A and B are shown apart, each in its own frame.
Chain A
Amino acid sequence: MSEAQTTTHETIDEDRRDFIHIATAATAAAGAGALAYVFIDQMNAASDTKAASSLEVDISKVPLGGEIRVLIGGQPFFIRHRTEAEIRSAESVDVGSLRDPQTDDERLVPMQDGSLNRAILVTSGSCTHLGCVPVGPAQGNTGDYGGWYCPCHGSHYDTSGRIRKGPAPSNLPVPDYRYVSPTVINISL
């Protein structure tokens, strides 16, 4: 305030361009950004939500030709016990003609001894189109290809859970799972 008495009112426009004001404003903006990050990040999944995400399922209880549905962290999963005919139809498809090319073997996880249990198919239960849960054998509608049919917008999945017809862009994803024993699998997110 030493030079306060010497000058009178003048325009303050020159001040606005002063470096010090720019530095101050920039620092304040950086702080606001850091604070915004905190307020955005808090809506991300909390660590308890992220942690509670694995389930062991006894696959010997799945009826032949049928399926069971499980929820893990609120997400549906299908575990299907396929018949010989269903396995054959899944394997006989010309992979090149598919929208999301994948062989049936690629969609299975080997058991502890390394062999494949072709009877058991594990897939996500959310249609890859907009997330509806497709109907299956238990609802009496397996769609045009014998797998699942999504009633929301008419996507048809085959007995390997691959998209064959309708708006869905890709196959039903295979979750991260492993065989704990020949009859028990552990699915985790």
Chain B
Amino acid sequence: MKFMRFISAGLGAAALALSAQAAGGAKHPHAPEGGWDFQGPLGELDMDSVQRGYQVYREVCASCHSMRLLHYRNLGEPGGPFYDPEYPNANDNPLVKAFAAQDEILSTEPNDVGDYDYRPARTSDPFKSPYPNEQAARAANGGAYPPDLSVITKARAGGASYIYSLLVGYPEEAAIATDTIETEGEDGETVTEQQTLIEVGEMAVFEHGDSHYEGELVQPVGQYYNPYFAGDTTPQWQGDPRHAPPGGFLAMPPQLTPGRVEYLDGTEATVSQMAEDVAAFLQWAGEPKQTQRKSTGLAAMIYLAILAVLLWFSFHRIWRKVDH
């Protein structure tokens, strides 16, 4: 019987291991130094960080990425970054109202003559989308579609760590080289072409790795190498094809530069800080009820544990006179 017990435990463990598999060929994402505050059963979101993350989203990400499932009111609801116990109804929260009023959105209701007007957003409106539809988004981004960020932390293996790793994982300046190629054009003239090469071995993220990548990646025009982005680097790899570096190319150039955002609370806006904050914000946005989930969970677990103990005693009391 021991064996069957072992098996049933194994079944659960196997299921866990299987679902934890990383997406094909990308470097495993990692949390920022010191880990996340929201990790673990008792971990809670660092709301200061989530607030700063909202600022990063607004000032950096929102120009290309929509968050259609989020509403301004969500910011002030319990568990939200700007929740104020003085305003249990988020629609009354002046801060949230101000955030909403900053954006002009196209009304979903036609006006008296049947046209759609722009009006300041209200707390009940969804976050303003940068583009009216996918076609417009693609047209503005060289054919690539910036994904909606509403549930991005749930839609990527690694969650917030993936967002953080991706944002800080682009090659450093030192690892980027430019190469000029001269080819003969159709009319006999010499055509020069600039080519961006990534010296993968020079990247800090690979310093501690087991394998040293000797060779370089030829970065396609309008594409940017990132070791955390799921993809295949083999076609662009100039080096041993058996050891193509992990990662892929994405259409989003590196976004965060030191001081890109001036934090209202005075925190120094390093790349790592901004990446951590915006990842924390997206972690909250992916599941605004996660704080409630964990606190309810604690109560439920304690309750079930007490009930289990009581039932165990009840069970032994009832069975005490029976051989079995």
A-B interface, 9 closest residue pairs, ranked by CB to CB distance from nearest: A51-B124, A24-B310, A52-B124, A24-B314, A7-B321, A20-B313, A51-B73, A27-B307, A20-B314
Contact B71 A4 (CB under 8 A): no
Chain A residue with minimal CB distance to B126? Answer: A48
Describe B's contact surface by its main secondary structure: helix
Q: Identify B112's interface contact among A9, A34, A61, CB under 8 A.
A: A61
State whether the Cβ of A41 lies closer than 8 Å to any Cβ in chain B. Answer: no
What's the least CB distance linking B101 to chain A, in Å?
14
Q: In whole angstroms, how far apart are the Cα atoms of A8 and B320 in the complex?
A: 10
Assess A8 versus B314: contact at CB under 8 Å? Given A48-B71, A51-B73, A51-B123.
Answer: no
**Which residues of A sit under 8 angstroms from B73, Cβ to Cβ?**
47, 51
Residue of B112, B123, B321, B324 with highest tally of chain A CB at under 10 A: B321
Contact A23 B71 (CB under 8 A): no
**Which residues of B sit under 8 angstroms from A53, Cβ to Cβ?**
124
Interface-lining segment among A10-18, A129-137, A140-148, A172-180: A10-18
Q: Identify A4's interface contact among B91, B123, B321, CB under 8 A.
A: B321
Assess A51 versus B71: contact at CB under 8 Å? Given A1-B316, A8-B321, A15-B317.
Answer: yes
Q: Identify B310's interface contact among A4, A7, A20, CB under 8 A.
A: A20
State whether the Cβ of B306 lies closer than 8 Å to any Cβ in chain A. Answer: yes
Contact A4 B311 (CB under 8 A): no
**Which residues of B sit under 8 angstroms from A54, Cβ to Cβ?**
122, 124
Q: In whole angstroms, how far apart are the Cα atoms of A23 and B309 in the complex?
A: 11
Contact A28 B307 (CB under 8 A): yes
What's the least CB distance linking B76 to chain A, in Å?
11
Chain B residue with minimal CB distance to A6? Answer: B321
**Which residues of B sit under 8 angstroms from A30, Cβ to Cβ?**
303
What's the least CB distance linking A2 to chain B, in Å?
9
State whether the Cβ of A3 lies closer than 8 Å to any Cβ in chain B. Answer: yes
A residues with CB within 8 A of B: 1, 3-5, 7-10, 12, 15, 18, 20-21, 23-24, 27-28, 30-31, 34, 47-48, 51-54, 58, 61
Chain A residue with minimal CB distance to B306? Answer: A27
State whether the Cβ of B323 lies closer than 8 Å to any Cβ in chain A. Answer: yes
Contact A4 B307 (CB under 8 A): no
**Which residues of A sit under 8 angstroms from B321, Cβ to Cβ?**
4, 7-10
Q: In whole angstroms, how far apart are the Cα atoms of A173 and B317 in the complex?
A: 63
State whether the Cβ of B20 lies closer than 8 Å to any Cβ in chain A. Answer: no
**Which residues of B sit under 8 angstroms from A15, Cβ to Cβ?**
317-318
Q: Identify B323's interface contact among A4, A18, A23, A27, CB under 8 A.
A: A4
Between A and B, 27 residue pairs with Cβ closer than 8 Å are A1-B316, A4-B320, A4-B321, A4-B324, A7-B321, A9-B322, A10-B321, A15-B317, A18-B314, A20-B310, A20-B313, A20-B317, A21-B317, A24-B307, A24-B311, A24-B313, A27-B306, A27-B307, A28-B307, A31-B303, A31-B304, A47-B77, A51-B71, A51-B73, A51-B90, A51-B123, A61-B112
**Which residues of A sit under 8 angstroms from B314, Cβ to Cβ?**
18, 20-21, 24
Chain A residue with minimal CB distance to B307? Answer: A27
